[in-house]
């Protein structure tokens, strides 16, 4: 039995024992510490932490979830890691991202389905009243819910795009994949009033409230969802951190959530939003290029040392991380969530 000591971003220590044959994630769960995770198969990166000391054996994983660069920096995946001795771990998430009770199972009904640009849909759900949990939508901005497709055992994880609220409203931005199971359900079968089973909130991609640094958010496509949640919450609290949003899509037709971003510009005087279109047509007057390119330019032009929040396809997250590191930002101040197609 090995002793594992994990220190969270906000300085709390969680200790648990682990045997070599079980993953660190399972070991912690056995002691009722439910560390952030999603796929639990080495594919998404939600359970990434840094190994500060000690040795682990890693089962096979996807480099989309854990890049070679991050592995070389000492990062591991909790769902893949097996302790070979006592370990010290450093987590990029706060204690608030750890559950000390099993993840809640909820039911919610579809309230609205609408187009979000040409390649995505906006899904609005309302939670059913639960006698134990009530009807409020309680979660940390940046977290996700696992949605089950009705009459199947198929689940998909989507980030919440709205801020926590008392109405029980949950907003998701869902990219349409031609063969995607949830995409097909939304396109072909979903109706207002359908009941969905949900598991959540889950996830460790949350704001570091205690950090005084500026916050720069970099998002590709529906990766903007958790950023919207974070920015909407900041607006609600009258937060006055300097903040920038770099939001990119491939083509102008794919643009969405512009009204929401406009509203945030009004509500957060210190927000600078840069909308990026990669393959811009002649009528595009915003930034032409990827959000990573916009980020690099901004880092070069500014003396700021912001906290960086990244969300989108793995390639975007990796490229943005590299750009941030190249500009001298510390590994511990870069927080990210990968969106893998599923």
Partner 1 sequence: MFCYQCEQTFRSTEGDGCGGGKGMCGKDAATADLQDVLLHVCEGIGQYLHRARALGATDAAADRFVLYAFFTTLTNVNFDAGKFVQLIQQAAQIRDRAKALYEQAARTAGKTPEALSGAAVFAPAKDMNGLLAQAGEAAVKKDANLLGEDVVGLRSLVLYGLKGVCAYAHHAEVLGEERDAIHAAVEHALDLLASDPKEIGPLLDEALALGHANFAAMEALDAANTGAFGTPVPTKVRMTPVKGKAILVSGHDLKDLHAILEATKDKGINVYTHGEVLPAHSYPKLKAFPHLAGNYGGAWQDQQKEFAEFPGPIVMTSNCLIEPQTRYRGRLFTAGPVGWAGVRHIENGDFSQVVQAAQALPGFAADAPEESITIGFGRDAVLGVADKVIDAVRSGAIRHFFLVGGCDGAAPGRNYYTDFAEHAPQDTVVLTLGCGKYRFNRHDFGTIGGAEDGLPRLLDMGQCNDAYSAIVVASKLAEAFGVGVNELPLSLIVSWFEQKAAAVLLTLLALGVRNVRLGPTLPAFLTPALVDVLVEKFGIQPIGDAKADIEASLARAA
Q: Which positions touch partner 1 (CB under 8 A)?
A: 11, 95-96, 98, 100, 130-136, 138-140, 164, 166-168, 207, 209-210, 212, 236-237, 239-241
Strand order in the sheet with 287-288: 287-288, 271-277, 243-249, 215-220, 307-312, 334-338
| Least distance to partner 1, CB of residue 134, Å | 4
Q: What's the CA gap between 245 and 229, in Å, rounded?
A: 12
* Cβ distance to partner 1 smaller for residue 194 or 209: 209
* Cβ distance to partner 1 smaller for residue 73 or 105: 105
Q: How far is CA 204 from the centre of its chain?
A: 7
| Least distance to partner 1, CB of residue 296, Å | 24
* Cβ distance to partner 1 smaller for residue 22 or 130: 130
| Least distance to partner 1, CB of residue 206, Å | 10
- Check: CB of residue 114 under 8 Å from CB of residue 128: no
| Least distance to partner 1, CB of residue 291, Å | 26
- Check: CB of residue 36 under 8 Å from CB of residue 29: no
- Packed helices 224-236 and 258-267: angle between N→C axes, nearest 10 degrees: 30
| Least distance to partner 1, CB of residue 160, Å | 13
Selection from 212, 201, 196, 104 nearest residue 159 by Cα: 201
* Cβ distance to partner 1 smaller for residue 75 or 94: 94
* Cβ distance to partner 1 smaller for residue 85 or 100: 100
How big is the chain, counted in residues?
342
| Least distance to partner 1, CB of residue 156, Å | 25
* Cβ distance to partner 1 smaller for residue 132 or 153: 132
Cα angle value 49/50/52 (rounded, 5°): 140
| Least distance to partner 1, CB of residue 21, Å | 30
First CA to last CA distance, the chain? 36
* Cβ distance to partner 1 smaller for residue 135 or 251: 135
- Check: CB of residue 86 under 8 Å from CB of residue 62: no
Q: What's the CA gap between 183 and 282, in Å, rounded?
A: 31
């Amino acid at each position: 039995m090995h002793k594992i000591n994990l220190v969270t971003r906000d300085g709390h220590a969680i200790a648990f024992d682990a045997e070599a044959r079980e993953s660190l994630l399972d070991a912690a769960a056995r002691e009722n510490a439910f560390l952030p995770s999603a796929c639990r198969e080495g594919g998404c990166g939600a359970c990434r932490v840094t190994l500060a000391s000690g040795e682990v054996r890693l089962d096979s994983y996807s480099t989309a979830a854990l890049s070679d660069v991050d592995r070389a920096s000492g990062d591991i995946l909790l769902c893949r890691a097996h302790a070979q001795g006592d370990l010290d771990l450093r987590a990029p998430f706060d204690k608030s991202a750890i559950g000390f009770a099993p993840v809640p199972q909820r039911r919610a009904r579809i309230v609205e389905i609408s187009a979000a640009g040409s390649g995505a849909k906006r899904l609005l759900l309302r939670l059913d009243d639960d006698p134990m949990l009530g009807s409020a939508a309680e979660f940390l901005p940046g977290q996700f819910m696992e949605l089950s497709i009705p009459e199947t055992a198929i689940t998909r994880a989507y980030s919440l795009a709205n801020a926590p609220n008392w109405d029980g409203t949950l907003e998701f931005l869902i990219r349409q994949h031609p063969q995607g199971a949830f995409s097909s359900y939304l396109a072909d079968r979903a109706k207002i009033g359908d009941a969905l089973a949900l598991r959540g909130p889950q996830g460790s991609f949350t704001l570091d409230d205690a950090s005084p640094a500026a916050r720069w958010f970099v998002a590709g496509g529906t990766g903007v969802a958790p950023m919207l949640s974070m920015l909407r919450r900041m607006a609600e609290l009258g937060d006055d951190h300097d903040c920038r949003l770099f939001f990119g899509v491939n083509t102008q037709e794919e643009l969405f959530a512009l009204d929401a971003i406009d509203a945030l510009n009004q509500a957060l005087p210190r927000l600078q939003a840069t909308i990026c279109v990669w393959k811009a047509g002649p009528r595009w007057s915003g930034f032409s290029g990827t959000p990573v390119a916009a980020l690099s330019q901004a880092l070069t032009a500014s003396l700021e040392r912001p906290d960086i929040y990244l969300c989108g396809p793995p390639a975007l997250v990796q490229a943005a991380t590299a750009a941030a590191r190249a500009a001298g930002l510390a590994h511990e101040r870069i927080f990210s969530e990968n969106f893998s197609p599923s």
